[in-house]
Structure 1
Amino acid sequence: MSKTLKIQTPKIPTSLTPFDYNDIEDSYINLALISDCTISQEDVEKVRFEEVVFRNVTFLDGAFRFIQLTDVIFERCDLSNVDFTDGIIHRVEFRDSKLLGLNLADATLRNVLFENCNLNMGSFGYADLKEMRFENCLLRNADFYEAKFNKLEFKDCDLNDANFTGTRLKGVDLSTCKFTHLNLSLDSVAGCIVSADQAIGFARLLGLEIKD
């Protein structure tokens, strides 16, 4: 995994119009700042956000299947247990946010950054992830079952008990991350980059006995 992985950042204009989400009238929102509010019990499909910043927003029991996010930033938000299944997410940043149990199964993600986020129990099963970075994130029990990785970086993350079964880890660098247990399949670990200490743990995970 290259240490110079470059991710396109969201293209956000310097001036955004404050927007009250409760005033939403259609499924397309752009050039908006949504801040200091709670969005509760939403169940919508194919809503689209472009050039939008969410700041200090809490989502409660939200289901946004097939959501489209382009050039969007989430800052200090709570999206715990929100459903973004089948979403299309491009040039998006999640910063300093609580994303416990966020569901991104079957989603397509391009140029996405998760930074200083709690993604424990997050779901990425069958998702297509390309040009992405997880930095300083909690990913305990996160599910990447049969996900597709391309130019993906994990930096200083807690991956304990994460599930990578059926996911090819070739070129993925886990050497700065911490974990005592991962769920893996034998054919998925070839080419994965780990530290010397982690390599011993990987061998044990795969059923090898280490002789002192």
Structure 2
Amino acid sequence: MSKIKIQKPKIPKGLETRNFEGSGDTFFHQCVFEGETIYGEDIQKMVFEQVIFKNVIFQEATFRNIELIDVIFDKCDVSNTDFSNGAIHRVEFHDSKLLGTNFSESTIRNVQFSNCQTNFSSFGFADLKQVVFQDCLLRNAEFYEASFKNVGFTQCDLNEVNFSNTSLNGVDISTCTFERLIVTLEELAGCEVNTSQAIAFAKILGLSIKDSL
């Protein structure tokens, strides 16, 4: 488990169930969306505050400049949804699909991704603080020129993740698996790795590893 402390979403009990389709609203507060499909929406500056999404499918949805505050996504499919330039605070994604989801240039605070399929997702130029990825598939995910502070990856598949121009100082990836990362030696400085990972990085740098006698 990650040692990073994450503030959990502040959600009251007894939320009313609502339908997104046909509401015409751009602000949703203290409600639950369950078992519906949100299709083809293209809305700027949508706000969800103290909201639960359960078994909800997003299809061809664009919510640039979204505000997600105290929100839970439980068993949802948010694949290819555009959340770019968003403000995302105290949010949890559980057992959800986020294939190709776009979080680029977003401010992300106190967010947990647990047991999620997050391959090909984009966090380019995003500002992440107090963020944990737990048991996630992150193959080919994009963290280009992202800013990290107290970001953790635990038991994740990081193969082919792009960390170009993103400092991994203080980031622990020792429990994760990967065959290759897109990262430079300078960006790796201060990154916490296990012994086999350290040997793999040394080989990438062209060092010849010999067993000690």
- What TM-score, normalized to structure 2? 0.96
**Displacement of 1:203:** 1.8
**Displacement of 1:87:** 0.5
1:143 aligns to 2:129 (yes or no): no
Task: Tell me, in whole angstroms, the C-alpha distance in 2 between the residues paired with 1:114 and 1:9.
Answer: 12
**Displacement of 1:3:** 5.0
Cα 1:3/1:57, change in 2 over 3 Å? closer
1:83 corresponds in structure 2 to 82
1:49 corresponds in structure 2 to 48
2:61 corresponds in structure 1 to 62
2:15 corresponds in structure 1 to 16
The answer to whether the 8 A contact 2:2-2:132 is kept is: no
Structure 2 unaligned spans of 5+: none
3-state SS, counterpart of residue 198 of structure 1: helix
Which string of whole-angstrom CA distances, capped at 9 and with x for unpartnered residues, describes residues 119-147 of structure 1?
00010000000001000000000000010
3-state SS, counterpart of residue 63 of structure 1: coil
Which string of whole-angstrom CA distances, capped at 9 and with x for unpartnered residues, describes residues 9-58 of structure 1?
00011110100101323211010100000000011110000000000000
**Displacement of 1:73:** 0.1
Task: Tell me, in whole angstroms, the C-alpha distance in 2 between the residues paired with 1:172 and 1:41.
Answer: 37
Task: Tell me, in whole angstroms, the C-alpha distance in 1 between the residues paired with 2:202 and 2:166.
Answer: 18
Structure 1 residues 1-212: aligned runs within 5 Å: 4-205=3-204, 207-212=205-210
Task: Tell me, in whole angstroms, the C-alpha distance in 2 between the residues paired with 1:70 and 1:92.
Answer: 7
Amino acid at match of 2:25: D
Task: Tell me, in whole angstroms, the C-alpha distance in 1 between the residues paired with 2:164 and 2:146.
Answer: 9
Task: Tell me, in whole angstroms, the C-alpha distance in 2 between the residues paired with 1:210 and 1:82.
Answer: 44
Task: Compute the RMSD of aligned alpha carbons.
Answer: 1.1
- What TM-score, normalized to structure 1? 0.97
**Displacement of 1:209:** 2.3
Structure with greater proportional strand content:
1
Structure 1 unaligned spans of 5+: none
Which string of whole-angstrom CA distances, capped at 9 and with x for unpartnered residues, describes residues 165-212 of structure 1?
10000000000000010000221110000000000111233x222232
The answer to whether the 8 A contact 1:20-1:34 is kept is: yes
3-state SS, counterpart of residue 145 of structure 1: coil
3-state SS, counterpart of residue 43 of structure 1: coil
Amino acid at match of 1:16: L
